[in-house]
Structures are given as structure tokens and as C-alpha cells.
Amino acid sequence: MRLFATCLVALLALQPGPAARSEDALNGPKRTFSDDLIENLTGDWIINRQIRGRIVQNTLHAEWVLDHQFLQLHMKDVAEPSAYEAIVLIGYNDADRRYVAHWTDTFGGTYSAIGHGRRSGDSIEFVFAYPDGPFFNTFTWDANARRWVMRLENSGKGGDRKLFAIDTAERK
């Protein structure tokens, strides 16, 4: 019986639980994801997108959702009818110490993806893995101009990056 009790105590001690969480955790039960950089994305924006030699406009509404665990970005082309719409959820994974972006758009489930990124200064480069090569979306906050610039690049199997689009977001 003593051996059983000792084994049970040892097993319980190995189980992860609230005591095993670090005190600096950004998210999880009873915590919210707070980030000084991402916070700058909240609100309503106009995006000027330079894509394949032309400029199109999108709107962007960003707000905290799911108990402040994710910042939801809702982007929509201003054309009537709309040619593009996306909903993106940006959060943070404490275990990996990196950001996560769940990207869904009008291209459907085949092209929906989860990207991961790390912060460097006022930028986060998200990398999305696709069968034909990685796709990069780098969000950069320009504090002086109070705007966001998102640089979208795709990469083939050789690793060379090619510009796909540049989005400049300015407050409405």
C-alpha cells in the first residue's frame, strides 16, 4: 500500500497544472493576451494594397475576441461586389514563445493556413507553410506615421522571395 501511495504522489507531481505555468504567461485560463505592438492594430483602418502592378483598397476592422485571447482582423475589399474578404485571428503561444495567425479568406479551406512568427522590434514576420513553398507576411508598425505596413512575399522551393503585395494601413 505504501508503494502504491508513493507512486500515486509521484505521478500527480509530474502532471502539468496551474502551478507549472510560468508567472509571465501571456494567455490561458484567467489571463488575457496583452501585447503593446499588436494593440496598435485595434480599430478601423483603410488598407491600400499594391498587388501585381495595381492598387486596391480594403477596409480592416480589428478587435479583441475570445476572452481577449486573439485579435480578430476582418479585411474586406471595398469593391462592389467585394472581390476579397479575410478573417484572421492573431494570438500568442506561450509554450513556443511565438505569435500564431489563423488565416481564412474567400479562397476557402484549401488555402486557409496557420502561420507562426516572432517579434523583432516593431515587426512580426509570420511564416505560412504551403506545399509549393513558404509564404511570408511581415507586419511592421511605423509609430511615427501611426500606420502599419504588411509586406507579403512568396517563396519557391529555391528559397528566393518574390514580392506578392504591400499593404499600407492607415486609420479611418
Q: What pLDDT, in 10s, does the model give residues 57-82?
A: 999 999 999 999 999 999 999 998 99
DSSP for residue 121: T
| Overall pTM > 0.95 | no
Query: Which three cell numbers, joined as nine digits, stand for 141?
Result: 508598425
DSSP 121-157: TTEEEEEE--TT--EEEEEEEETTTTEEEEEEEEE-T
Do residues 143 and 123 make contact, with C-beta atoms less than 8 angstroms apart?
Answer: no
Q: What pLDDT, in 10s, does the model give residues 98-122?
A: 999 999 999 999 889 999 999 999 9
Quote the CA–CA distance of 165 and 154 in Å, as a whole number. 10
- For each of the domains in the chain, give its residue range(s) and CATH number, in order of start: 34-171 (2.40.128.20)
